[in-house]
Amino acid sequence: MLKKLMGIVLALVLIMSLFTFAEAEEPVVIRILSSQQTENPEGPLEKSISDAYTALHPNVTFEYIAVNSNEYIKKLTAMGTAGDMADMFQNSSNNLPTTVDLALCEDLNTLFDSEYLDGLQPQMREEASYNGQLLFMPTQSMPMALLYRADWFEEEGLTPPTTWDEFIACGQALTKDTDGDGVIDRYGFAMIATKDSSAGTRFLPILRSFGCREVYLDENGKWQTDVGNDAFKACVQMYADLDVKYQIAQPGTIETSYSEAANLLVAGKAAMMITGSNALGTIYAQNPDLKGKLASCAIPMETQHTSRLGTLGYSIYNGSEHKDICIDYLKFYLEETNALKWTEECYRVPVRTEYYDNPILQEADMKGFVDGIEYAYPWPQFLGIAQTYEIIGSVYQALITGSMDVDTASEQARQEMEELIASYE
For residue 111, with 0-12 CB atoms within 10 Å meaning exposed, 13-18 middle and 19 or more buried, which class applies?
middle
What pLDDT is recorded for position 10? 43
CA within 13 Å, CB half, 143: 30
Q: Model-level pTM greater than 0.95? A: no
Average pLDDT of the segment spanning 314-343: 96
Please, which pLDDT band fits residue 166 given cuts at 50, 70 and 90?
A: very high
Q: How far apart are CA 381 and CA 21, in angstroms?
A: 44
Contact 149, 271 (CB under 8 A): yes
- The number of residues in the chain equals 425
Kindly report, residue by residue over 133-163, the tens digit of the pLDDT. Answer: 999 999 999 999 999 999 999 999 999 999 9
What pLDDT is recorded for position 383? 86
Average pLDDT of the segment spanning 7-20: 43
Q: Does the pLDDT at position 14 exceed 80?
A: no
Percent of residues, the chain, with pLDDT higher than 70: 94
Q: Does the pLDDT at position 5 exceed 70?
A: no
Q: Does the pLDDT at position 279 exceed 50?
A: yes
Closest CA relative to residue 63, chosen from 22, 33, 99:
33
Average pLDDT of the segment spanning 53-78: 93
Q: Does the pLDDT at position 24 exceed 60?
A: no
Q: Does the pLDDT at position 94 exceed 60?
A: yes
Do the bridges between strand 133-134 and strand 28-34 make them parallel or antiparallel, or are there none, so unpaired? unpaired
Average pLDDT of the segment spanning 209-238: 97
User: What is the phi-psi region of residue 16: left when phi exceeds 0, alpha when psi lies from -120 to 50, beta otherwise?
Assistant: alpha
Average pLDDT of the segment spanning 256-281: 96
Beta-carbon contacts of residue 345 (< 8 Å; ≥ 6 apart): 41, 45, 281
Average pLDDT of the segment spanning 65-76: 89
Q: Does the pLDDT at position 190 exceed 60?
A: yes
What pLDDT is recorded for position 9? 40
Angle of helix 385-401 relative to helix 406-423, nearest 10 degrees, comes to 170
Question: How wide is the angle at C-alpha 74 spanned by C-alphas 69 and 79, nearest 5°?
Answer: 110
Q: How far is CA 336 from CA 182, 332, 342, 417, in A?
A: 52, 9, 10, 43
Kindly report, residue by residue over 340-394, the tens digit of the pLDDT. Answer: 999 999 999 999 999 988 899 999 999 999 999 999 998 888 988 889 999 999 9
What pLDDT is recorded for position 261? 97
Do the bridges between strand 270-276 and strand 187-189 make them parallel or antiparallel, or are there none, so unpaired? parallel
